[in-house]
Structure 1
């Protein structure tokens, strides 16, 4: 009686699907399903150990910040979501092929029909998420429950096969951060998650600095797409980080030009300020400018980021107005005698010039040394 009652209470989801076979006659289906329904038909097989210490499952634990980022993106309104969720499905699902003649030119790679998927209780569902755990959890939490999500599913009860597919679809390295940074300025007209949106403006300004002949950084910045520029010596990540830090600091030199509720960011004002400051840097430290980071720590990631903090301090003295080139140059000259970019030892740090590395600790120490030298000189 219990079994009969459970069958009666069981529900089903029916979708149009394409069927094909791969490998050793492994059934594979492609279809669309409501985003909120994925977690109704599929369980997450989290990696764990059973009582005998045997490994079970294959998924990593939920990453809350990742899920929240996806939720924020999907909640923006009309968004594009073409990323397919990959499921392993039990043979309990049923496929019924559509009748009719094959269209002219059809090579017969797939057969159309309907796929019936039982909806069971958690822990007893007929599918397991192989790829798309965080996306599936996010889709279940957004207000728009009807967003159509592409799914590719293969039929197998084998945990070994499920793990194999999980490893294969996740083994490829994610896009390098520098490549993402370079691509972001070209993503006009589409909505981006908050974490990517925050990287777009700094990367766009970095492009300007590298391409403008009037910029002190002209052709000096390494970008992933520019592999033939032998003059490039500064990593774009350092420049982007310097810009982003100044924008995000409420007292930063670039903060006043960030986007307001009505207007977008004032890129031109940001760019003029950066060119003004770094032209002054080049003038004050001519022997250290334009050299390989191994020869000059001013061109090193640590030097670029630390000087960005000093930039914020210097412009803070101008009461919110943009200082002239000469005014900025005069302020920079206050710290020139304390800097050891190409030789000697940093007296306040007790380390040689080339011992400064691109680590959070060294960058922070260099920032503090520059600010301390500037504050001391200003007070005298």
Structure 2
């Protein structure tokens, strides 16, 4: 490393990689060097302030915390385009890459939040980096589009499934996971054969839909064992499907909006069951409260509710109230 005009010169071992018509350098760079030399906005803007305008600081701070707490690794390569300020040179027969560590030496093609997270972190680490050199602005733009449209994020349903294997779940997620598995696997489940654990599938309740629907209910059941929570929710779902069939309302409980709407109505229904029967929460007791509600529900109103679980819940809440006249 040397210093010229107040700008440090960095040298790193590299490999030259050719893919089709593209050539780029593969190397590892200290995270603090990346934070000093990379930018993600127009060349006229200050790199750090530019980061803060176009990126999600909370997401970057989560990355910084992840680094500082030593929770794991970030093996994904940062993809950069060298700018004239870098004054890149290849030395030692292609084995060493030299560049000036100026504030705008590299434009970030992919990995903006990671680099911003490195800048916020207290710890340093070596980061895999891919550097393209000599790209035009048009080529940079095309590469940015290719990189950011060809990559597909992991589905949330699969992430929830994998979190359990990775032991990354918090207490609520663990409870929701156990409840999902009971509904998914138990022979007594009213949703048996209607659950999808690792992917979103039409006509099935995914982990994401299940969690969205059941999570608001967790404060009500915090003192109960998992199997008891399952028993009560299962009895509620059975009463909904039975009442729908009897009154020919065609309630599709596996529809995400419908499922979440009925879960939002669960506290009001359960309160009425408790007031009338106590804390047994048997299926027939739920049915006694749910059946009149579903009978009064207007299918046309449910259709108008669209994709809003809250709108569905409001329609159900209105139908739960008995009609009264003098």
Q: 1:254 to 1:234 in 2, by over 3 A?
A: farther
Q: Quote the Cα distance in structure 2 between the aligned partners of 1:17 and 1:200.
A: 44
Q: Is structure 2 residue 197 aligned with structure 1 residue 208?
A: no
8 Å CA contact 1:222–1:233 kept in 2: the answer is no
Q: Is structure 2 residue 211 aligned with structure 1 residue 240?
A: yes
2:147 to 163, 166, 169: 169
Structure 1 residue matching 2:17: 3-state secondary structure: strand
Shift in Å, 1:287? 5.1
Q: Which residue of 2 aligns with 1:41?
A: 37
Q: Quote the Cα distance in structure 2 between the aligned partners of 1:311 and 1:69.
A: 35
Residue by residue, what CA displacement relative to the aligned partner does 1:92-144 show, whole Å, maximum 9, x if unpaired?
2223237xxxxxxxxxxxx6x33222111x3xx22110001111111110121
Shift in Å, 1:210? 0.7
* Bigger mean CA offset, 153-162 vs 171-180: 171-180
Structure 1 residue matching 2:54: 3-state secondary structure: coil
* Bigger mean CA offset, 160-169 vs 271-280: 271-280
Q: 1:345 to 1:299 in 2, by over 3 A?
A: same
Shift in Å, 1:315? 5.6
2:107 to 121, 128, 134: 128
Q: Which residue of 2 aligns with 1:367?
A: 313
Q: Which residue of 1 aligns with 2:231?
A: 275
Residue by residue, what CA displacement relative to the aligned partner does 1:148-205 show, whole Å, maximum 9, x if unpaired?
21111111241111111111110134233333334333333xx58x9xx976753453
Q: Which residue of 2 aligns with 1:138?
A: 117
Q: Which residue of 2 aligns with 1:148?
A: 126
Q: Quote the Cα distance in structure 2 between the aligned partners of 1:27 and 1:281.
A: 58
8 Å CA contact 1:221–1:235 kept in 2: the answer is yes
Residue by residue, what CA displacement relative to the aligned partner does 1:272-303 show, whole Å, maximum 9, x if unpaired?
313322224314642537xxxx9424443233
Q: Which residue of 1 aligns with 2:6?
A: 9
Q: Quote the Cα distance in structure 2 between the aligned partners of 1:147 and 1:138.
A: 12
Q: Which residue of 2 aligns with 1:263?
A: none
Q: Is structure 2 residue 195 aligned with structure 1 residue 221?
A: yes
Q: Which residue of 2 aligns with 1:104?
A: none
Gaps of 5+ in 2: 45-49
Q: 1:219 to 1:339 in 2, by over 3 A?
A: same
Q: Quote the Cα distance in structure 1 between the aligned partners of 2:65 and 2:317.
A: 38
What does residue range 303-322 of structure 1 map to in structure 2 within 5 Å?
303-313=258-268
Q: Which residue of 2 aligns with 1:67?
A: 60
Q: Which residue of 2 aligns with 1:82?
A: 75
Shift in Å, 1:355? 1.1
Q: Which residue of 2 aligns with 1:96?
A: 91
1:333 to 280, 284, 288: 288
Shift in Å, 1:270? 3.2
Q: Is structure 2 residue 26 aligned with structure 1 residue 30?
A: yes
Q: 1:153 to 1:323 in 2, by over 3 A?
A: farther
Structure 2 residue matching 1:334: 3-state secondary structure: helix
Q: Is structure 2 residue 75 aligned with structure 1 residue 119?
A: no
8 Å CA contact 1:221–1:234 kept in 2: the answer is yes
Q: Which residue of 2 aligns with 1:265?
A: none
Q: 1:12 to 1:331 in 2, by over 3 A?
A: same
8 Å CA contact 1:94–1:115 kept in 2: the answer is yes
Q: Quote the Cα distance in structure 2 between the aligned partners of 1:353 and 1:223.
A: 31
Gaps of 5+ in 1: 1-5, 49-56, 99-110, 258-268
Specify which structure has the higher proportion of helix.
Answer: 2
Residue by residue, what CA displacement relative to the aligned partner does 1:73-110 show, whole Å, maximum 9, x if unpaired?
33432312111110011462223237xxxxxxxxxxxx
Q: Quote the Cα distance in structure 2 between the aligned partners of 1:174 and 1:339.
A: 39
Give the TM-score normalised by structure 1.
0.67
